[in-house]
């Protein structure tokens, strides 16, 4: 019987312990496993290659995203690096979003500069620009939707169709929405990547990533290479990741509800310039979001309409919005994009992507929304006095 994502998130791995009857799967911290006899290994022999707890969370992630298999890695960046290692060779072309996460941009650009593969950053909502890149017969197309940090929405189904016609494989970074709100493989993607550090774990206490493959042959190859280059996730991180996934659905729903309340407030603030959130009718890709997403998520960004001194007072006055990088945790975070998450991009690259020095990105948590709005309101009032 096929189950809904919320049920998969709760029940995968429960009641599988036959030795003691543990309802929750235990943590398997052993690095090595004995052979039953000469040249007779068990299903696990060394934890870099395979770990019982990691097996469970990988199976859970694959089922949540509708894939054939998944690999949990030691960071979101290593998940991207794994994909590129397996499917790109020198001279092959990767087409990536011009406004992608700063760490992704840094990885692709540095690998391009050392000749590992070629990369072209394009505005994937510009059909002519996208088609010109596809005419070069790329091997991989990365779609990041909603984009980080401007929440631009890209049409997965349309881009996947064009990419497949050009002979390319399609990767979707689904970190911002999670499988609760978006299912890229059902829309035509070949792979889904996540920084599991974010919404999947949800508690800001691990670093992990994952690649989910549509086809079993790709999952098998990714698994082999993950062991080969040593990027697999650890036992305790796998346990915490699975524990976080259990509450993914209710967390996302509360965070999304809070985000909409904050957006409604920010629309009334004179110190807020441009506001970026997919529920807004004038947001880039709003209609696409309605079509391919089950909600608008809990990430938002806005331009601070004041000088640097006011910005410093605003950020310094906040008490419930922690000035920090990362996102997706139960706590609310705010970041200054140009000096934090996208500092690895050059000023020219940030300008081309539309990322200004006044842009603030907010990851909304599960606190009471009235408390969050009150905290914002107080900080804006203090900033306006300077």
Q: Write out 333-347 in H/E/C secondary structure.
A: EEEEHHHCCCCCCCH
φ, ψ at 300 (rounded to 5°): -150, 155
d(CA 334, CA 311): 12
38-41 contacts, C-beta under 8 A, 24 or more apart = none
* Residues classed as catalytic: 48, 101, 173, 198
How many C-beta atoms surround the C-beta of residue 22 within 10 A?
A: 12
CB 211 within 8 A of CB 71: yes
- From the list 291, 297, 263, 268, the residue with the least C-alpha distance to 381 is 268
φ, ψ at 313 (rounded to 5°): -65, -40
Q: State the Rg of the chain over Cα.
A: 21
- From the list 13, 300, 285, the residue with the least C-alpha distance to 157 is 285
Residue labelled with tokens 């976080």:
244
The CA-based diameter of the chain, rounded to the nearest angstrom, is: 77
CB 152 within 8 A of CB 145: yes
């Amino acid at each position: 019987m096929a189950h809904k994502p919320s049920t998969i998130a709760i029940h995968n791995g429960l009641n599988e312990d036959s030795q003691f009857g543990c309802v929750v799967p235990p943590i398997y911290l052993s690095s090595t496993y004995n052979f039953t006899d000469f040249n007779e290994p068990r299903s696990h022999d060394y934890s870099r290659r395979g770990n019982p707890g990691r097996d469970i969370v990988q199976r859970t992630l694959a089922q949540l995203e509708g894939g054939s298999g998944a690999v949990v890695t030691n960071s979101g960046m290593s998940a991207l690096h794994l994909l590129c290692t397996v499917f790109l060779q020198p001279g092959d072309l990767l087409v990536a979003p011009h406004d992608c996460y700063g760490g992704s941009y840094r990885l692709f650009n540095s690998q391009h500069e050392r000749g590992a593969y070629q990369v072209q950053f394009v505005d994937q909502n510009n059909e002519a620009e996208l088609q010109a890149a596809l005419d070069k017969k790329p091997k991989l197309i990365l779609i990041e939707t909603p984009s980080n940090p401007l929440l631009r929405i890209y049409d997965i189904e349309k881009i996947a169709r064009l990419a497949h016609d050009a002979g390319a494989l399609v990767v979707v970074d689904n970190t911002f929405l999670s499988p609760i709100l978006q299912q890229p493989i059902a829309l035509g993607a070949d792979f889904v990547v996540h920084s599991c550090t974010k919404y999947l774990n949800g508690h800001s206490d691990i670093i992990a990533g994952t690649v989910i493959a549509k086809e079993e042959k790709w999952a098998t190859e990714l698994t082999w290479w993950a062991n080969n280059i040593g990027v697999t996730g650890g036992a305790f991180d796998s346990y915490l990741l699975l524990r976080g996934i259990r509450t993914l659905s209710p967390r996302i729903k509360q965070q999304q509800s809070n985000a909409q309340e904050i957006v409604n407030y920010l629309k009334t603030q004179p110190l807020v310039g441009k506001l970026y959130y997919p529920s807004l009718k004038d947001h880039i890709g709003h209609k696409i979001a309605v079509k391919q997403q089950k909600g608008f998520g809990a990430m938002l960004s806005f331009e601070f309409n004041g000088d640097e001194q006011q910005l410093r007072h605003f950020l310094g006055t906040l008490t419930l919005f922690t000035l920090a990088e990362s996102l997706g945790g139960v706590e609310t975070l705010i970041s200054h994009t140009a000096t934090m998450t996208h500092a690895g991009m050059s000023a020219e690259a940030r300008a081309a992507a539309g990322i200004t020095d006044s842009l603030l990105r907010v990851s909304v948590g599960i606190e009471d929304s009235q408390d969050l709005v009150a905290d914002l309101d107080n900080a804006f009032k203090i900033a306006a006095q300077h």
